[in-house]
Structure 1
Amino acid sequence: MLTKIVLSLLLVVGSPVFSIPLNTHTTAVNLAAKFKVAGVTNIVAGDRARAQALHQAATSGEHYANASITNVAPIGYTIQVGIGNPLKHYGLLVDTASGNTWIGADQDYTVTSTSTGTGNTVSVSYGSGNFSGKEYLDTVTLNSLSISDQSVGVASEYQGFRGVDGVLGIGPVSLTKGTVSNTDTVPTIMDNLFSQNSIQSEVLGVYFVPVSQEDSTGTLTFGGWNSSLMTSDITYTPITTASPASNYWGIDQSITYGDSTILSSSAGIIDTATVLILIATDAFDTYKTATGATLDETTGMLRITADQYSSLKPLIFTIGGTAFTLTPNAQIWPRSMNSIIGDTSGNSDNIYLIVADIGSKTFSFVSGYTFLERFYSIFDTTNKRVGFATTAYTESASN
């Protein structure tokens, strides 16, 4: 059965919803992109803090470890999720680097006839935010699609989540280890969709339209993918064996700028809740030098001139033997959205790059939504692999 859900993802400008044809063997969720302004403008610092916390959590096995809050990224994809009976809808951040689903930030949880308190406590840190509270089992509804007895954290304390009600965790179940008292791991949304026979394969397809588009939208496809949104075959690569990236949706890749390799094949993660593309410091320094960019102190991002932009070379990610290329336009932040990253000059012609330094003691790379909006991505728990394909927006010049 094909189930459609309209989700909202908040943009600083309006975002109408449109229908997308879907494969009949999948259960799909249509999103309308919406981005939130969280009051903190340094995206680089927020993304870096998140990467370091995720690395620390995977290394120590303590996903509930406390972390100081430095910055919160002002942008995130949220999904409208119904919980309880009668339904109450919550806007949850879509997060492939977390397994826990929780609510109670901007909007309080309402106990209904389907709510069951377990007596357990739950706590998770994200580096750029954290929460702690109590665990409930409740019915989670995505339009006509219903999940019973889903573990839902209800926050009594939280930091770093202004503009959203909580998190929808669609990462590996191992990420829930140690987050709930008296429990080893708790089934994720994807686990329960599969075990309750709502989907035939534990596979999630993710499609984002670049945020610079007037009709910025996206689609989550549960149980498969939407081939009509792809312009190439799918390239699959196995989850990396390199720890700690192997705890997440981690893959091996190399990165080339023009003809020069800036990052040899190494392990990192794919993350919908990270904004930028973070790479190892030595690779970042090489990229910075090659592009001629300078570090902008206000935004924390690399900035280039119009002449340097005209000379930008392709940035090539080799994954599973296939080259996925970010064109020069795909390497820059949407100029019409410069105010979101803290550019107070009012000059929409300023050009910032979306590649940033990941910092020390973390992964070799984290590819955030600015990478994912140029490619269709598939997160395949059943076969322990990640897939990518090009889309109509891979070579878009909208930035």
Structure 2
Amino acid sequence: MFPAASLLTTLLLAMSIAASPVEVRDSPITLPIARRLNTPSGTINLLEHDQARAASLKNVGTSTLLSPTEAVSYVAAVGVGSPATTYQLIVDTGSSNTWVGANTAYVKTSTSVSTGQPVTVDYGSGSFSGTEYTDTVTLGSGLTITAQSIGVASTSTGFTGVDGIVGIGPLDLTEGTLTNEQTTTIPTVTDNLYTQGIISEMVVGVSFEPTSTTLSTNGELTFGGTDATKYTGTLAYTPLTTTYPASYYWGINESITYGSTTILAETAGIVDTGTTLILLASNAYTKYQSATGATLDRTTGLLRVTLTQYDALQNLNFNVGSNTYALTPNGQIWPRALNTYLGGSNSYIYLIVNNLGTPSGEGLDFINGQTFLERFYSVFDTTNARVGFATTSYTDATTN
């Protein structure tokens, strides 16, 4: 027989193992995603779009929802119907409804079923309204979800060059979007993948790579697990924050330092594929501007540094739990080859860190947007209520 102490140790170890979330790796369900710059007027205003989205995110419960940045978006080809029509949909972790019809009209097939329910989502700088259908949705190489709720837009604004959104945010974000059912939620794509037995864990892995072109297939969604070929080292997880309103989204707690200087003490914010820039509470943004010596560029609204100041930039460190994710100087600047799409000058160096527009202490004090996610692999894990990060081969890239 085991001595009592050994038995207790064994039991405690077993309990510890049982309580630890099991990581699902190398899911076969992958969906390529492409970064697209939409410039209908020749230039884009990143800051205007991102700040409009941030304001809508913070006002959850008073304004309807939030706005994915249509100026710079990550887009996936998603099939709807049987035979499927392919739609170019923005991939958005900050909203959860999936809908089509902004550009390419919805094509009804034998799998299309109207529920007759009106559906409306106001995204701050865009919106859609129409009718809810259920239909077959195809992701990647022939993987299908049956009876997925989708919105079919009769009207939409703010979605130039794309057909709608595939929402991979938390389920609660769908509440109230059915006009006649204000307390009803709608199962998301991730929910249905799980309930229909296509994936065994409600996990989405997201890989982006830095790019200096206006249209590039430089990303991948992995449903049901993670793709170990897309990151280096070990994935580290942090629990979702309980601080409102960040807790309504993929919210986490982190602190941010520039070099060894703290510019934002530990607080709640969100990780968001629908925001392009990294946005910091206004007091942290002021500290960052002062530390870098950057000046405000009135044309673009972005901070600008000289070549000498760029050479002196220090790492911007995102401290999450016991882990630090260092954004290198090159990772803190907009790709210089794309300066003119901002209305800027080829000879300038613009920073991708900007002002959230409100001070810290309001429950959503930072947004780690696309420019953060292009340097770190991310995992959105509903099953275990956590977000994970890992370094990639592009964490220290000098492509900008």
TM-score by length of 1: 0.88
Identify which of 57, 67, 81 aligns with 1:54: 57
Partner SS, residue 72 of structure 2? coil
Are 1:288 and 1:302, in contact at CA under 8 Å, matched by a contact in 2?
A: yes
Could you tell me how far apart the structure 2 residues matched to 1:36 and 1:215 are? 13
Are 1:63 and 1:175, in contact at CA under 8 Å, matched by a contact in 2?
A: no
In structure 2, the CA distance between the partners of 1:38 and 1:211, relative to structure 1 (3 Å rule), is farther
Unpaired segments of 5 or more residues in structure 1? 1-21
Query: How far off its partner does 1:73 sit?
Result: 4.5
Moved more, 274-283 or 229-238: 229-238
Q: Does 1:389 align with 2:390?
A: yes
Unpaired segments of 5 or more residues in structure 2? 1-23
Equivalent residue, structure 2, for 1:10: none
Equivalent residue, structure 1, for 2:81: 84
Are 1:268 and 1:366, in contact at CA under 8 Å, matched by a contact in 2?
A: yes
Query: How far off its partner does 1:211 sit?
Result: 1.6
Identify which of 27, 37, 40 aligns with 2:39: 37
In structure 2, the CA distance between the partners of 1:38 and 1:279, relative to structure 1 (3 Å rule), is farther
Q: Does 1:352 align with 2:355?
A: no
Equivalent residue, structure 2, for 1:221: 222
Q: Aligned runs of 1:271-290 on 2, under 5 Å?
A: 271-290=272-291
Q: Does 1:190 align with 2:187?
A: no
Question: Residue 166 of structure 1 aligns to which amino acid in structure 2?
Answer: G
Question: Residue 290 of structure 2 aligns to which amino acid in structure 1?
Answer: T
Q: What CA RMSD, in Å, does the superposition of the two structures yield over aligned residues?
A: 2.0
Query: How far off its partner does 1:219 sit?
Result: 1.3
Q: Does 1:161 align with 2:159?
A: yes
Q: Deviations over 1:123-177 (max 9, x none)?
A: 1122221111111111111231101111111111211110100000000000001
Query: How far off its partner does 1:229 sit?
Result: 1.8
Equivalent residue, structure 1, for 2:134: 137
Equivalent residue, structure 2, for 1:16: none
Q: Does 1:204 align with 2:204?
A: yes
Equivalent pairs, count: 369
Could you tell me how far apart the structure 2 residues matched to 1:25 and 1:94 are? 19
Q: Deviations over 1:266-325 (max 9, x none)?
A: 001111011000000000001011111111111110001001101111100001210000
Could you tell me how far apart the structure 1 residues matched to 2:306 and 2:169 are? 38
In structure 2, the CA distance between the partners of 1:234 and 1:166, relative to structure 1 (3 Å rule), is same
- Whose radius of gyration is greater, 1 or 2? 2
Are 1:131 and 1:155, in contact at CA under 8 Å, matched by a contact in 2?
A: yes
Equivalent residue, structure 1, for 2:311: 310
Are 2:211 and 2:399, in contact at CA under 8 Å, matched by a contact in 1?
A: no
Equivalent residue, structure 2, for 1:4: none
Equivalent residue, structure 1, for 2:178: 180
Are 1:208 and 1:374, in contact at CA under 8 Å, matched by a contact in 2?
A: yes
In structure 2, the CA distance between the partners of 1:192 and 1:216, relative to structure 1 (3 Å rule), is closer
Identify which of 94, 97, 100 aligns with 2:97: 100
Moved more, 34-43 or 80-89: 34-43
Are 2:232 and 2:391, in contact at CA under 8 Å, matched by a contact in 1?
A: yes
Could you tell me how far apart the structure 2 residues matched to 1:102 and 1:43 are? 24
Partner SS, residue 77 of structure 1? strand
Could you tell me how far apart the structure 2 residues matched to 1:260 and 1:307 are? 20
Are 2:69 and 2:275, in contact at CA under 8 Å, matched by a contact in 1?
A: no
Question: Residue 45 of structure 1 aligns to which amino acid in structure 2?
Answer: E
Partner SS, residue 56 of structure 2? helix
Partner SS, residue 73 of structure 2? coil
Q: Aligned runs of 1:333-344 on 2, under 5 Å?
A: 333-343=334-344
Could you tell me how far apart the structure 1 residues matched to 2:147 and 2:180 are? 17
Q: Deviations over 1:318-351 (max 9, x none)?
A: 01210000000000000001012121x4x2x310
In structure 2, the CA distance between the partners of 1:93 and 1:32, relative to structure 1 (3 Å rule), is closer
Query: How far off its partner does 1:26 sit?
Result: 3.8
Are 1:43 and 1:73, in contact at CA under 8 Å, matched by a contact in 2?
A: no
Could you tell me how far apart the structure 2 residues matched to 1:392 and 1:72 are? 26
Equivalent residue, structure 1, for 2:254: 253
Are 1:41 and 1:73, in contact at CA under 8 Å, matched by a contact in 2?
A: no
Q: Deviations over 1:17-48 (max 9, x none)?
A: xxxxx965442223344443344611001000
Equivalent residue, structure 2, for 1:6: none
Could you tell me how far apart the structure 1 residues matched to 2:191 and 2:153 are? 22
Could you tell me how far apart the structure 2 residues matched to 1:54 and 1:215 are? 28
Are 1:47 and 1:128, in contact at CA under 8 Å, matched by a contact in 2?
A: no
Partner SS, residue 254 of structure 1? strand
Could you tell me how far apart the structure 1 residues matched to 2:105 and 2:58 are? 30
Could you tell me how far apart the structure 1 residues matched to 2:262 and 2:26 are? 42
Could you tell me how far apart the structure 1 residues matched to 2:186 and 2:333 are? 39
Equivalent residue, structure 1, for 2:119: 122
Partner SS, residue 133 of structure 1? strand
In structure 2, the CA distance between the partners of 1:201 and 1:72, relative to structure 1 (3 Å rule), is closer
Query: How far off its partner does 1:218 sit?
Result: 1.3
Moved more, 178-187 or 144-153: 178-187
Query: How far off its partner does 1:228 sit?
Result: 2.1
Are 1:73 and 1:275, in contact at CA under 8 Å, matched by a contact in 2?
A: no
